[in-house]
Structure 1
Amino acid sequence: MRGRLSDLLNLRRGEAAPVFVAGLFFFCILTALMMLRPARDALGIERGLDSVRWLFLGTAVVTLLVNPVFGGLVARLQRLHFIGATYAFFAASLVAFWALLVFAPGAVGARSGQVFYVWFSVFNLFVTMVFWALLADRFSSDQGKRLFALIAVGGTLGAIFGPWLAARLAEPLGTPTLLLIAAAFLLASIGLAAWLVHLRGDGPRTDPARPETSERIGGSALAGIRAVFASRYLMGIAGYVVIMTIVATFLYFTRLQMVAAAESDLDARTGLLGNIDMWTQVAVLVLQVTLTGHLIRRLGLGFALALLPLAMAVGFIGLAIYGSFLVLILLEAANRAIQRGITRPARETLFTVVGREDKYKAKAFIDTFVYRVGDVVGAQTEGVLGRLGLALGGLVSVVVPLALVWAALGIWLGRAQQQRAVAGPALPAIRNSRMD
């Protein structure tokens, strides 16, 4: 029975404990994020969709400014120290927002709501980026293909539990208290990160070729930015992320427009957005537990990375034809199921074959600033198409060509990752750019 379960979950000897701890780690992060996300979205559209587009631009600027700070932490601190410092900073920020809501409620207005929107967007990117960077450092390329989807189940359960917990506690305890609960989950993540790093099992922790936990990564604060522009492989990942976020932003604004038309009350909007977030997790969970690890291992990363672009192209065509709220929910469910259940584990596996410095610094630049650049481009493009009166038909004319390029890039990245995995331990991309 144990052997059958291990085969189903793609587990090998010594991997169960690290996978469990990593899944619990991701559960804490996604619980904290999803408790607060519906309120973020509802606050963001209080002053209209145009304000959200400018908030995207503000978020991109903030992530660009924060990247050298994070790079400096990576260069100067040991791995667990800069991970702990990142989560502790965001937990402290949540406590500060709680204090503002409790002790100075009169100061809370539209401007503070916009600040929270930008802060949450940065928070969302950095806490998940640090988690996946640690996993890329902790697990090998083969383990990433087999196990990342299984580990992501923890995040899916957190994405379900977070909105459920918020709905149960918001009324008896008050909305400000939710910020403290989210901060507690972040602090728990620090302990789980330490536990994962020190667990002995089959993986990089016991591999003598890998640096020990106590070593500092070193380098400069801007090394990650330079590495991305010096490596075709990292530039390919950046291009994939940009196109992905542009298309996702098209879907995001389409959802906001339909929700704004369906509900005018702030509380009703929050509840509607929260329900969409919670109920679309079921398909994600099924994919992560039963299919993704086997699919990536047997059909390859290229197929896994190309699946989402093709599904999004088909989905937008269907949305343009029917234009109903039901089709939107189905498209969002399919997008999240494939993105979280298949594409995200596959995309994170791409980083298992780059140098250790690039796992944290270059990945931070791609997953935060580059990601938000895609948001800005997508938001402004959607706004221009809307002002021209093209609406969904105009979006389809943009999405379909982008999806074809996106899918081709995914196939190329899958092949490039396999070549790097066969070649052996990766060197930092800044020093290995001639081999790309």
Structure 2
Amino acid sequence: MPAYLQQFFNVRRSEVLSVFLAGLFFFCVLTALMLLRPAREALGLQGGIEAVRWLFVGTAVITLLVNPFFGLLVSRLPRLYFISATYGFFGLSLIVFYMLMTVTPDVIGVTTGQVFYVWFSVFNLFVTMVFWALMADRFSLEQGKRLFGMIAVGGTCGAIFGPWLASMLADPLGTPALLLISTAFLGLAVVIAWILAWQQPHRRSPDLASDPEAPPVVDEHAVIGGSAWEGFKAVFRSRYLMGIAAYAVILAIMATFLYFTRLQMVAELGDDLDYRTTVFARIDLITQVATLIMQALIAGHLMHRLGVHITLALLPITAALGFIGLAVVGSLAALIVFEAVFRAVQRAIQRPARETLYTVTSREDKYKSKAFIDTFVYRGGDVVGAQVEGLLGRLGMGLAGVASVAVPLALVWAGLALWLGRSQQKLAGQHLGDQPAANGGDGHASPESSLSPGTGRG
């Protein structure tokens, strides 16, 4: 990569291959997801908006049940093996759905669509969580600030490519074939994950020992150990992890308010399934293009120069202003603009910044606690948001009622973002001081002693 491009994209020459592989990994994951997402949205609406609210409850329950099984995999298998097992499970699930759709097409109906909706929601959470957990394990905090935005570009390209590929192949191959194509992309993602992980340093060279931007050293054969429920318990022992969990809950509530507002406005356009799917796909396309521009040109420089705390606070500010504007205007066009900006800031700026929060935690927390927060805790926020939005609707408060709840909550959210960013800096300082010890063995050392008494686990 020419020097001027390295400076523009904030990437060092030695990092180019790793960033490319990480971006390609995320491209495959998001392509696999976005091939199927528009159909998920349309299938979920078949039972009505009220049914979707209860599907959120079902998703939260399933994620809680799945978490200990994932925690068991993390405890018993080396990193690359439990990552492969997770992607393999969802790939096999897609094959099962494919068999149902082709062998017994008569069973496909509202109930089957709702089952797919819940399964897809769990699938979406776990495959993206595992990707970002590996990124937090693969790159240092300083690297994350510079590189996570650029890595996320790969995901956005996949999110654009997936719907386009679905539109090209759905007619000639049939909708069931999309599930097999999605499975193939998951398999490719696993292959890239192995290559990327083995590019990580396995031994610290003397010239990198004091470099805060050097990637962490990991023994690829080491087993993290601990109990299956350790991630759950660690969240409640650590103020820092509790703060991340609270941030995720508020994010989920805000996203759910926006999500159900979109569902209601699209539902008012008519009952035609294909037309609704088209509208959802167009909204997704607009959002992804806006996200791509922000990720490629803004995200890496913004986080590196302003800090994680300011970057995390941008989405709460966007949410507050957007809900105020939506309450005033109240049109589908205003919703599309707001959602495009909200999702673009979330995916291009907030998500990479939020993932850097885990770069200063122990390896166990990177996978187990993160899994609990990014799946069950996040879906718990979805449930709260869905029920509150439904209650406001039944009270006849409409968009004004949603805004009256969303705006004050966004201010609390912004304050929490600033606290998390400051806390991360404190933990990073401790982590840097303990780096020689933390980089040895399987990397269990925890830097959280000042923010979470009693949570250090050797």
Q: TM-score range by the shorter chain?
A: over 0.9
1:351 and 2:370 aligned: no
Partner residue in 2 for 1:421: 428
Match of 1:394 in 2: 401
2:111 and 2:369 mapped to 1: Cα distance? 32
* Alpha-carbon spacing, 1:129–1:64, altered in 2? closer, same or farther (3 Å): same
**4+ runs deviating over 6 angstroms:** 201-209, 429-432
1:322-357, Cα deviation, whole Å (9 max, x unpaired): 111110000011011100110000000000000000
Distance 1:385 1:96, change over 3 A: same
Residue 202 (structure 1) shift: 11
Shift in Å, 1:13:
3.3
Separation in structure 1 between the aligned mates of residue 199 and residue 366 of structure 2, nearest angstrom: 20
1:363 aligns with 2:370: yes
SS in 1 for 2:224: coil
Looking at structure 1, the residues matched to 203 and 154 of structure 2 have their Cα atoms a distance apart, in angstroms, of 20
Q: In 2 relative to 1, CA 435–331 (structure 1 residues): closer, same or farther, beyond 3 Å?
A: farther
Q: Which secondary structure does the structure 2 equivalent of 1:14 belong to?
A: helix
| SS class of match (2:217) | coil
In terms of mean alpha carbon deviation, does 204-213 or 249-258 score higher? 204-213
1:279 aligns with 2:286: yes
Q: What is the distance in 2 between the residues matched to 1:364 and 1:317?
A: 33
The corresponding residue for 2:453 is: 434
1:137 aligns with 2:137: yes
Q: How much has 1:409 moved relative to structure 2?
A: 0.3
Letter in 2 for 1:58: G
TM-score where L is the length of structure 2: 0.92
Question: Kindly tell me: are residues 327 and 245 of structure 1, through their superposed partners in 2, closer, same or farther at Cα, counting changes over 3 Å?
Answer: same
Q: How far does residue 204 in structure 1 lie from its aligned partner after superposition?
A: 8.5
- Give yes or no for contact 1:250–1:378 (8 Å, CA) kept in 2: yes
Counterpart in the other structure of 2:211: none
Equivalenced residue count is 436
Moved more, 308-317 or 417-426: 417-426
User: Against the structure 1 CA distance between its residues 94 and 61, is the aligned structure 2 distance closer, same or farther, given a 3 Å change threshold?
Assistant: same
Q: Distance in 1 between matches of 2:370 and 2:200?
A: 25
Residues in 1 aligned to 2:78 and 2:201: alpha-carbon distance in whole angstroms = 21
Q: Is 1:288–2:295 an aligned residue pair?
A: yes
Contact 1:137 1:204 (8 Å CA) reproduced: no
CA-to-aligned-CA distance 1:68-103 (integer Å, 9 cap, x gap): 000000000111100000001000000100000000
Query: Within the alignment, does 1:407 sit opposite 2:407 as a pair?
Result: no
Structure 1 residue corresponding to 2:328, chosen from 300, 318, 321: 321
1:189, CA displacement in angstroms? 0.7
TM-score, length of structure 1 as denominator length: 0.97
| Deviation, structure 1 residue 198 | 0.8
Q: Contact 1:240 / 1:406 at 8 angstroms: preserved in 2?
A: yes
- Residue 441 of structure 2 is matched in structure 1 by none
Q: CA distance change for structure 1 residues 90 and 33 in 2, over 3 Å: closer, same or farther?
A: same
Deviations 1:16-50 (A, max 9, x none): 00100000000000001111011101011111111
Q: CA deviation at 1:275?
A: 1.2
Cα deviation digits, residues 379-418 of structure 1 (max 9, x gap)? 0000000000001010011001100000000011011111
Letter in 1 for 2:45: I
Native 8 Å contact 1:129 1:363 kept in 2: yes
1:214 equivalent to 2:246? Answer no
> Matched residues in 1 for 2:204 and 2:358: separation?
14
Which of residues 324, 340, 347 in structure 2 aligns to 1:340? 347
Q: Aligned residue for 1:28?
A: 28
**AA in 1 matched with 2:420:** L
Residues 204 and 238 of structure 1: is their aligned pair in 2 closer, same or farther, counting only changes over 3 Å? farther
Q: Per the alignment, do residues 184 and 388 of structure 1 end up closer, same or farther by CA in structure 2, a change over 3 Å counting? A: same
1:130 alignment partner, SS class: helix
**Can you give the 5+ residue segments of structure 2 that lack an aligned partner in the other structure?**
209-213, 439-444
Residue 177 of structure 1: aligned partner: 177
User: Which residue pairs with 1:152 in the alignment?
Assistant: 152
Give 1:222 shift: 0.3
Identity, % of aligned pairs? 61
Aligned in 2, Cα 1:358/1:167: closer, same or farther, shift over 3 Å?
same
Structure 2 Cα separation of the partners of residues 302 and 204 of structure 1: 30
| Residue identity in the other structure for 1:345 | P
Q: Tell me the C-alpha RMSD between the 2 structures.
A: 1.8
CA distance in 2 between counterparts of 1:434 and 1:235 reads: 13
